[in-house]
Amino acid sequence: MYDEDLANLEEWLRRLKIEYHIFFSGNRKKPPDDLKMRVEKLVKKLSECSDLSFSQRFRYNTLITRFYVYRDLWRRTLLEREMGNALKPEAKPPEISPPPKQRVETVRISISDPKSEEDKIRVLYDVLLRIKGTDSGEAPIPYTQFLKYITTKTRSIREKYSCHTVAFTLALDEDAIRFTAAAESR
């Protein structure tokens, strides 16, 4: 039902990344605000959908995390560019290159009962915020929603695979955050 919206969001994010790269390299006069607004409207629309399947919700969360990472990078780059131009009014715009590849950071946490292991979920949430470079005041996903997602995902995987624990892996690989959940055998 929402697969087309998610496909659009993924495609628009890819195009938006390219458009910003073109803008920062000096081949475009203005940032791609129109496409950014379309992405933000679609993100808002999908965030209000309560009937997304687990796979759709996971895909949405992955895409929105990528969007927030990109948006913060673009905002910081624009700010640095404006500050640099304010200090040197006659200087030509600086060359903006893509950010250096980040090291791969991985955290794996096993959870069997989310209600009694909320401290593990809090650690996973804090790692997500740290990787994204945000604090809990401007978190892309509220902790309560994250807790609900982990609880539901744990229950679902435990029932489907008849396992006792679920391993959640959070990894930063270049500019993408990868979040996976898998049955863990004893």
Q: Quick one: pLDDT at residue 185?
A: 73
Q: Please write the tens of the pLDDT for every residue from 69-84.
A: 888 898 888 888 878 7
Instruction: Give CA–CA dist 171/180, Å, rounded.
Output: 9
pLDDT value of position 176: 74
pLDDT at residue 124 in the model? 83
pLDDT at 4: 92
What is the model's pLDDT at position 12? 93
Give residue 102's pLDDT. Answer: 46
Mean pLDDT by 10 residues, the chain (186 residues): 89 92 87 91 89 88 89 88 65 52 66 88 83 64 88 91 88 76 80
- Structural domain spans, the chain: 3-87, 105-184
Residue ranges in the chain assigned as alpha helix (H): 3-24, 33-47, 54-87, 118-132, 143-161
Angstrom distances, CA of residue 84 to CA of 19, 20, 88, 94, 162: 22, 18, 6, 8, 58
pLDDT of residue 15: 93
94-102 long-range CB contacts below 8 Å, 24 or more apart? 95/25, 95/26, 96/24, 96/25, 98/21, 99/73, 99/175, 101/174, 102/172, 102/174, 102/175
Q: 4: which residues sit within 8 A by CB, 6+ positions away?
A: none
Overall pTM surpassing 0.85 (yes/no): no
Single-letter code of the amino acid located at 80: E
